[in-house]
Structure 1
Amino acid sequence: MPLGVESLKKTVVVSLWNDLATSIGQELLDNADKSPIVAIKSLKVGDFQGVSLSTLTRSTVLVNTDMPESKKLRSWYDSEGKEASMASVGSGMSPSSKGGMQSMYSDRVRLSYITSNPSLGEDKPAFFSIRAYISFIKPDQTMWYRACKTCNKKVTDAIGSGYWCEGCQKNDEECSLRYIMVVKVSDASGEAWVSVFNEQAEQIIGCSADELDKLESQEGDQNLYQLKLKEATWVPYLFRVSVVQNEYMNEKRQRITAKSVAPVDFAAESRLLLEDISKMKVSQ
């Protein structure tokens, strides 16, 4: 898919999540042979295959709009774009030029490698990529915090009414909820608890923290909240994680945090497996 203007001649992977995947995603699949023009607002930039884009709960996706940019892109594509040679927007970029991002396929390890090495992250954070299933989400944990709508920092109850943000030094009548939770992930080698923050949690749960809070608050409908969490389990993901050592009660503990989450690309996974097999043959 051309990114932005036709002069770039680049492609990028865009992952549609949740309702967008089943509605707009199906529409795009049905009309793929017609090469629809897609406009998307509010995306998360990730490091899958170098550079990738993912929709959020607030994302807006429009197909074949009447915007001048869409018409210009359509004209270019029909006249020359469909025959043009295009490269990935992340190709040829070094990790430093991508803001230090690494691919989901670099530093790939099994969970047991992390959990069996308690010294990992002792001096500085260690970063790895893993492929794992989310096997459990504790429903009774503190899953979100009240956040300032301007800076996303934690707010407290203000005197009288509203919420006080220390960062912005102001009161607001409203606040938003942002995820801060832990999930258990599992692969063939073992399991581990992973800390997950708002954007990654929205991808995993499939809704915002405000929406999940409404499900939990509905009287007599606690099952909807439990069901939402259950639906998020036993789904495979690619994780880019950091590992650090935190001290608690004079005891060092390993903390694993998800920095990015992406759906599994089984074609890419197959290529990775074939590369590993080739390396094994060479070493024999």
Structure 2
Amino acid sequence: MATPNVVMIKDLKENQSDVVIEALVLRQGYETETNKGSTGIRKSILIDKQGNMIYAIMFSNVISQFKTLLHTNKTYLICNPLVKKINFNYVNVNPSIELTIQTSSVITEFQAIRPTLPMDIIGFVKNVRPLRNFTRPKNGTIGHLRDIVLMNERYETIDIGLWDDLAVNEGQLMKKNEDLAPIAAICNLRMQTHNNVSQLKSTPTTYVILNPQCSRAIELTEWLHATDTIHGVNELWTKKKFAEAVEVTLEQLAKKRNMLTENNYYCVQGRIKKFENNSSLFYDACNHCNKSTTKTTSGMSCFDCTNIPIEIVPRYKLSVFIEDGTVIAKVIMFGEIVTMFIGCPVEEFIKTRNKNIDDIITPNIESHRFLLKLDRTVTNSEDMISIIAESVQKPRSINSKNIPTKKQRSLRRLNNASKDRAKSYASTSSKRNVPITSESHDINIECEDDELLKEYTKRIK
């Protein structure tokens, strides 16, 4: 298809409308309410082949008209948009202008372009936390937040908060593929401090590229393949943390906590004495925040996710009492950690109708190792210390076989395919800034390959 006479973003003039723009969608956005709470609005970030960016804004009267268009990582021809001066009270990706999509505009998917993008950080998606929803006090609109954790080959991790459409769109895609160790490259983050805790947060100009095929991403994938062909990023991180964690006794946690360092990882070893049987092995959890729900006159409700529809999902919770020869402690475990004890997902467990834990697992005379972070998850009372475990290592049986799970087999196939791509890439290119592929569309990215995640965090602060 021949390319029509398109205008580059840098050449657009205020109040123009009879123009054609060829651009790639970096961030598709979603429909929200305006600050006045009356009109729907959707903002998408576009980039042309020269690397210039601009907002494409749609209001409620045209959002439904183009709802099947302007998707992330797809290229479009946009005819007859209205070029307007930006509102300097709001952050923008362009210093002077933005586009308003009109009912008379025409949008057509077109052949992919390959702009060059600067990227701040890149790493494995180690963890994707549940979507959280909140009500903004200023205008009463609903906002969205999802925390993710990136990790590099040095086992450095960095927490990032994705807001609004990034939390819903890109965040959900990360969650869907979390078990396959996706790689994310992110640009335009800011440091935000709340209650003396600093975290990187997304901004209205942030964009996320998933599974790039640049040299840095190939290096990460090759490292993962060389390190362990079966286990995923979380398993590797857990193994590393267990190796680095300081071994302590339960008595040290209970009586000498002031001698330990807050927010450091520690490991306690103890034999499971008994299970706490005064509660069910699972609970009705909110699918957004994982917290327990409460039955009300209108049904099940989550008091932390108010004014939004929620879905009730079952989630494991197992409490055990352990001893190490010094004191007895209560250890609480959730989710996937409990799956290791039960041997099946919670949905499958519910189908078996076996509600008595003593019929499924029995206390083991051998000691388990429990990984914990010395923060609010470790509490002391007059009677007993209580610990929320981040991971558990079971005693290894002499005759046990290391049989890969379905998840691990999928990851191994993905790594093998990535290794083949890396060989092909190495034979055709030696550049550092190379195409990345996402949904078969190529983009060039520039990434600071030598910058550590921790160093980036310090610089942003």
| Greater RCO structure (CA 8 Å; 6+ sep) | 1
The interval holding the TM-score normalised by the smaller chain is 0.3 to 0.5
Between structure 1 and structure 2, the one with the greater Rg is 2
Structure with greater helix percent: 1
TM-score (norm 2): 0.30
